Structure 1
């Protein structure tokens, strides 16, 4: 995989603990919706992040956590901030992974994300919206708290403008004014579908979550060959 230099166009907060990073490759590069890149902090230290922008976008969007409890992400963000302040590019490997959107399928889709895994399904959802697909799409996003629902308006807009697109945020620790779904995001899917047979399922989130979801969904009828998640290669 070729390492590409990218200008850092912006680093801006989406929530108190998540930042949007906008990059522009200095060399034309192609990738597919649902793939990821690796930021090269050093020649040996490469950190993967899902690409949130859709395939064909010249600018790459990332969603990177800034929590002090998450050294993996916060150290990468600090590296980017240092380069941004110095007006220096960041090196990245772009277009990695095997869990990209399968555009040759006509099966209905379930997109499931936990936390900043949302960037993965956001990329896929944007592509589906641009293609104006007429197969059903159900996008589930699980979060601990509702104030972490960045890009919520965009997802709601797509849902309201496309009868085939359904967006379901699921909050673990809701406040009293939350009127949406609560609990674990994969349980919401299990509650909504009598069987997961016949669906293409795209999953992103922590490794521990991905393993639980994979096992629960297969038991609920999902076909393993139609479940896509890069974490499956490591668990």
Structure 2
């Protein structure tokens, strides 16, 4: 865990409700794919966000979602907009990618929880992992799939990788999976016993997924989510 000053390089929209943030730390800072950072609004107010980049990249990338009615995200974005430099604490969380494991992998994201699995997916691709990797991304509306083309290309680069977007409220032209993302996983696997499972999303979702996956054979010691420390 490292406390560090970062320059705020860019804030740009990924969708109408999700902002891409690029930060450059004053010197290289160690962290693991899948870890998160905290933005210091003050000594008593620190806001955690998943890191969407990997340690091999010079910049720290965040995907911050939330409407104006969500003060948690909007206040953090306002702080980033108002300061050329900010303080961050990097390398937090225990749900990072276990690179030494030989188990097949399921990456599961709800909404902007995607930034967490995106970091791990990029690390997996860079390491040329040759075992099955299934990335499920669940969103309410298909317009929220802001990296749809990139993830499809990621899956096309190697037969070991599969990308399964799941839309809760699809338009009539949507040809992919629909419904709840964790139910798509349950439908696709008779047993989850063999898999390392990495998941991120709202706390309520994480609790439901954990219970459902345990019932379908998932092993608690092979399921990773920082939300589990709070639910």
Counterpart secondary structure, 2:42: coil
CA distance, structure 2, for counterparts of residue 69 and residue 139 of structure 1: 30
User: Paired residues, what number?
Assistant: 231
Do the aligned residues in 1 keep the contact of 2:2 with 2:29 (CA within 8 Å)? no
Structure 1 position 156, deviation (Å): 0.6
Which TM-score applies when normalising by structure 2? 0.98
**1:100: which partner in 2?**
96
* 2:53 equivalent to 1:53: yes
**1:146: which partner in 2?**
142
Do the aligned residues in 2 keep the contact of 1:30 with 1:56 (CA within 8 Å)? no
Any runs of at least 4 consecutive aligned residues in structure 1 with deviations exceeding 6 A, and if so which?
Answer: none
Do the aligned residues in 1 keep the contact of 2:2 with 2:91 (CA within 8 Å)? no
Structure 1 position 163, deviation (Å): 0.3
CA distance, structure 2, for counterparts of residue 99 and residue 81 of structure 1: 29
CA distance, structure 1, for counterparts of residue 2 and residue 124 of structure 2: 28
What RMSD over aligned residues (CA atoms) do the two structures have, in Å? 0.8
Do the aligned residues in 1 keep the contact of 2:37 with 2:92 (CA within 8 Å)? yes
Task: Point out where structure 1 has 5 or more consecutive residues left out of the alignment.
Answer: none
Once the two structures are superposed, residues 97-123 of structure 1 have per-residue CA deviations (whole angstroms, 9 ceiling, x without a partner) of 000000110100000000000000000
Do the aligned residues in 2 keep the contact of 1:66 with 1:77 (CA within 8 Å)? no
**1:23: which partner in 2?**
23
Task: Point out where structure 2 has 5 or more consecutive residues left out of the alignment.
Answer: none
**1:71: which partner in 2?**
71
CA distance, structure 2, for counterparts of residue 143 and residue 20 of structure 1: 17
Within 5 A, what are the aligned runs for 1:72-221? 72-83=72-83, 88-221=84-217
